[in-house]
């Protein structure tokens, strides 16, 4: 039996506003419990919600960035259920008339082809609070700081056909929301969460199989693993004669398995109806146009431009454009040096990223600025130092030892390009290794590497490798 996997993703991204969607309390992360929960967030008697302007702006930006329709009229609805982290006993969300509809984005599938994934809708809603279950004896503790934080729930069409595609889609959404500045996408802090709806069906069957929903996946890795586990689980279940139950499941990353959630939302009738405390949100065409005009260059367009304008490899362009800040850094460096853009790309994707990851830093906190890196790459380009030495210089720069020139000067790392100086060292090496010389002359060409190594050793790596090669070959053939 050949199986096809059908996946739809629901991504909840917290919008990076200063205040909550319906109240003026702060959304800042990490505050003491309930110090950022005002009366509206606490669901006190008599209080009322008032909509945050910036939330509408951000939703509109997202809609335009994914080629969707930004609804001229959308309505908030109440989703009614009881849970301690939901103080009003209902969540203000959007149901029949969401603010964004019918969008799309493009990922690269397993075969390397561009694939379109539809976005059914994106709607606004308020986040719930948090529950703490440990350390309180027979109680759970409720912190409502997060209650009322604006969320944009982005729902994909069930167009995704594998865990890898799911991750690619999720990464794309992650990149877009960060590009737009509408979310920091911080999965550890919970500002970017993913639910995956997974089902399987025999290849060729039109009808969808029963789906299970895996909730609250907060890393790309977990999304991939959870989906893979679930797909296998479902296939095994069906092949053993069982039926997939429509239910909510959680992913246990320790055991790498999904399991059924206790009946939190079992048999819940949400009784959606339009929220009578809020009026329909109307968005004028000229507002949409003004939002469109201020959209930044989006990842796909930027990636394309990098390939065309800088003539760098597509894969590098893809990596460089994951983050708008990294892309900007790259362009700053490329603009400040005559070194080849591909070299710049290699360095940003390679050494720089490595250093940032090692120190757990974002590009904005890089210890080597774009100008400084440009300075270093210029010195490779003009042959002052070799690429290999440059790595050493970079390390020193990262450690705070100054600019490229300063480090080169201080450590005396200038490349040796004086032919007679190199010749002298080559002569020395040839004299010291008669055995290898004989073998080389006898035909063991690969030994050139050994000689180059010896010369580099003698010159602390500072001899220009190209010249060393040239001179060695000349002397060894003579």
Q: Which two tokens stand for residue 17?
A: 């506003």
Q: Which two tokens stand for residue 355?
A: 């250093």
Does 51 contact another protein by CB under 8 A? yes
CB 376 within 8 A of CB 388: no
Does 141 contact another protein by CB under 8 A? yes
Cβ atoms within 10 Å, residue 447? 18
Residues numbered 275-334 forming contacts with another protein, rule: CB under 8 A: 276-282
Locus of tokens 């990596």: 319
- By CB under 8 A, name the one of 8, 11, 13, 36 that touches another protein: 36
Return d(Cα 197, Cα 125) in angstroms, integer. Answer: 20
Phi and psi dihedrals of 286, rounded to 5? -70, -25
- By CB under 8 A, name the one of 1, 2, 30, 82 that touches another protein: 82
Least distance CB 125 / another protein (angstroms): 15
Does 221 contact another protein by CB under 8 A? no
Q: Of 27-35, 217-225, 314-322, 380-388, which part binds another protein (CB under 8 A)? A: 27-35
Does 140 contact another protein by CB under 8 A? yes
Alpha carbon distances (Å) from 461 to 198, 321, 392, 437: 56, 34, 10, 21
Return d(Cα 207, Cα 461) in angstroms, integer. Answer: 66
Does 32 contact another protein by CB under 8 A? yes
**Helix, strand, or coil (residue 133):** coil
- By CB under 8 A, name the one of 33, 118, 402, 461 that touches another protein: 33
Return d(Cα 45, Cα 247) in angstroms, integer. Answer: 35
Residues numbered 338-377 forming contacts with another protein, rule: CB under 8 A: none
Strands (E), 219-304: 248-252, 257-260, 273-274, 281-282
Least distance CB 277 / another protein (angstroms): 5
Sign of CA dihedral 41, 32, 362, 185: negative
Least distance CB 45 / another protein (angstroms): 4
- By CB under 8 A, name the one of 118, 274, 402, 461 that touches another protein: 274
Least distance CB 98 / another protein (angstroms): 14
- Binding pattern to another protein, positions 245-264, x when CB under 8 A? -----x----------xx-x
Q: Which is nearer to another protein, 276 or 435 (CB)?
A: 276
For the CA atoms of 111, 212, 67, 313, what is the dihedral angle to 10 degrees?
-30
- Binding pattern to another protein, positions 106-135, x when CB under 8 A? -------------------------xxx--
Does 13 contact another protein by CB under 8 A? no
Does 75 contact another protein by CB under 8 A? yes
Q: Which residues does residue 132 pair with via DSSP β-bridges, in sequence order?
A: 141
- By CB under 8 A, name the one of 7, 9, 11, 25 that touches another protein: 25
Burial of 25 (0-12, 13-18, 19+ CB in 10 A): buried
Does 19 contact another protein by CB under 8 A? yes
Does 78 contact another protein by CB under 8 A? yes
Residues that bind another protein (rule: CB under 8 A) add up to a total of: 67
Return d(Cα 401, Cα 394) in angstroms, integer. Answer: 10
Q: Which two tokens stand for residue 398?
A: 């990262």
Identify which of 5, 4, 3 has the alpha carbon closest to the alpha carbon of residue 166. 5
- By CB under 8 A, name the one of 6, 29, 80, 391 that touches another protein: 80
Does 18 contact another protein by CB under 8 A? yes
Q: Which is nearer to another protein, 31 or 476 (CB)?
A: 31
Return d(Cα 183, Cα 272) in angstroms, integer. Answer: 27
Q: Which residues bind another protein (CB under 8 A)?
A: 17-19, 23-26, 31-39, 42-56, 75, 78, 80, 82, 84, 87-90, 131-133, 136, 138-144, 250, 261-262, 264, 269, 271-274, 276-282
């Amino acid at each position: 039996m050949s199986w096809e996997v059908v996946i739809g993703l629901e991504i909840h991204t917290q919008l990076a506003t200063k205040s909550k969607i319906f109240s003026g309390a702060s959304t800042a992360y990490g505050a003491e419990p309930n110090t950022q929960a005002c009366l509206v967030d606490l669901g006190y008697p008599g209080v009322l919600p008032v909509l945050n302007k910036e939330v509408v702006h951000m939703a509109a930006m997202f809609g335009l960035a994914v080629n969707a329709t930004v609804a001229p009229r959308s309505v908030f609805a109440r989703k009614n259920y009881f849970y301690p982290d939901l103080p009003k006993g209902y969540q203000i969300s959007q149901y029949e008339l969401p603010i964004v509809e019918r969008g799309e984005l493009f990922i690269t599938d397993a075969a390397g082809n561009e694939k379109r994934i539809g976005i059914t809708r994106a709607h606004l809603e308020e986040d719930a609070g948090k529950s703490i279950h440990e350390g309180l004896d027979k109680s759970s503790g409720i912190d409502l700081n997060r209650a009322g934080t604006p969320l944009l729930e982005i729902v994909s069409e069930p167009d995704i056909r594998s865990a890898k595609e799911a991750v690619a889609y999720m990464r794309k959404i992650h990149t877009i929301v960060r590009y737009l500045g509408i979310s920091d996408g911080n999965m550890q802090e919970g500002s970017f969460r993913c639910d995956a709806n997974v089902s399987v069906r025999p290849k060729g069957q039109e009808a969808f199989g029963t789906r299970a929903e895996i909730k609250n996946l907060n890393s790309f890795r977990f999304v991939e693993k959870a989906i893979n586990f679930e797909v296998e689980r479902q296939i095994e279940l069906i092949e053993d004669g069982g039926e997939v139950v429509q239910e909510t499941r959680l992913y246990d990353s320790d055991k790498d398995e999904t399991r059924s959630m206790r009946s939190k939302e079992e048999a819940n009738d949400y009784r959606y109806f339009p929220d009578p405390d809020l009026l329909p949100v109307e968005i004028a065409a000229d507002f949409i146009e003004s939002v469109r005009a201020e959209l930044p260059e989006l990842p796909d367009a930027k990636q394309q431009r990098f390939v065309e304008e800088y003539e760098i490899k597509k894969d590098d362009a893809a990596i460089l454009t994951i983050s708008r800040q990294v892309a900007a850094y790259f362009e700053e460096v490329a603009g400040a040096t005559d070194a080849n853009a591909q070299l710049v790309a290699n360095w940003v994707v390679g050494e720089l990223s490595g250093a940032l990851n090692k120190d757990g830093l974002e590009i904005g906190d890089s210890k080597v600025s774009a100008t400084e890196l440009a300075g270093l790459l210029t010195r490779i380009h003009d042959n002052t130092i070799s690429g290999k030495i440059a790595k050493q210089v970079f390390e020193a720069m990262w450690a705070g030892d100054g600019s490229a020139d300063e480090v080169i000067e201080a450590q005396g790392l200038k490349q040796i390009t004086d032919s007679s100086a190199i010749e002298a060292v080559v002569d020395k090496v040839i004299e010291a290794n008669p055995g290898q010389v004989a073998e080389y002359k006898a035909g063991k060409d690969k030994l050139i590497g050994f000689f180059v190594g010896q010369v580099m050793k003698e010159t602390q790596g500072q001899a220009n490798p190209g010249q060393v090669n040239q001179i060695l070959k000349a002397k060894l053939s003579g």
